[in-house]
Amino acid sequence: PSRAGARLFGAGAKASLKEEAYGGLEWVAKGTGDVASRPDAHVEVVPVVRLADWLASLRPPVQEVELLKVDVEGGEWEVLQGTEPLLSQRRVGAVIVEYSHFWGRGRHLRPMAAYMAERGYDGYFVGSRRLIPISGERMQWWNDLYEVCADPHARVYRGLAGWCWLDVAFVLRGSAHGRAAAHCWAPWELLPGSA
């Protein structure tokens, strides 16, 4: 179906951050071309609504989401849980989340990838000319090296000055996006046992 009439929500240059996201700092231009940080104690409380509830409240209700981009500085798990039952019902075509050092507190990429795989989504790292497969239907593509942001003291940590982030796309298996990811964008010739 044509997507010319698709509604976009949340499009634009906006950001609201929880205090922990940047260590309680704000970034300011000094007027000399330099940027500096200073303590920021500002906290703003915002209302939260589950995605499924919000979509159902719209008139007409939105039944499917083609692409959901989640970049909430460590709260990605909570957003995905608030997306149920849309994920289990396979009503979201693709989800892109930011995997980063902000996850902390024992949150890791593997459980999220398994959660999404159980719901029919294949996971891929995004950021190069090719997608790097990380999950698959039975987590057959997983390698523990993919936890690159989990431990800043690990040899595999790929952070820069304490920062580590990667975009991960979860694409509905068997959908048009899923077929394109599986057949066009992933370097299958480089993966053992996938030729």
**What is the pLDDT, as a whole number, of residue 15?**
46
User: What does the pLDDT look like over 98-151, one tens digit per residue?
Assistant: 988 777 667 789 999 999 999 999 999 987 777 889 998 999 999 988 887 777
- Same domain? For 42 and 60 the reply is no
How far lies 151's CA from each of 108, 148, 156, 163, in Å?
10, 7, 8, 11
Domain that holds residue 7: 1-48
Same domain, 31 and 85: no
Do residues 120 and 131 lie in contact, with contact meaning Cβ atoms separated by under 8 Å?
no
Report long-range pairs for 153-156 (Cβ below 8 Å, ≥24 apart).
none
Looking from the CA of 49 toward its CB, the CA atoms found within 13 Å total 8
Q: Is residue 195 part of a domain?
A: no
Q: Do 73 and 36 share a structural domain?
A: no
Number of domains in the chain: 2
Looking at the fold, whether 90 and 168 belong to one and the same domain comes out as yes
Quick one: residue 139, left, alpha or beta (phi over 0 = left, psi -120 to 50 = alpha)? left
The tokens of 18 are what? 């929880």
Looking at the structure, do residues 66 and 78 belong to the same domain, yes or no? yes
pLDDT per position as a tens digit, 171-190 = 999 888 777 777 666 666 65
Same domain assignment for residues 42 and 92: no
Do 38 and 109 belong together in one domain? no
**Taking the complete model, does pTM exceed 0.95, yes or no?**
no
Q: Are residues 75 and 153 in the same domain?
A: yes
| DSSP per-residue letters across 142-171 | --GGG-TTS-TTSTT---BTTB-EEEEEEE
Any residues with CB less than 8 A from the CB of 178 and at least 6 apart, and which? 122, 171, 172
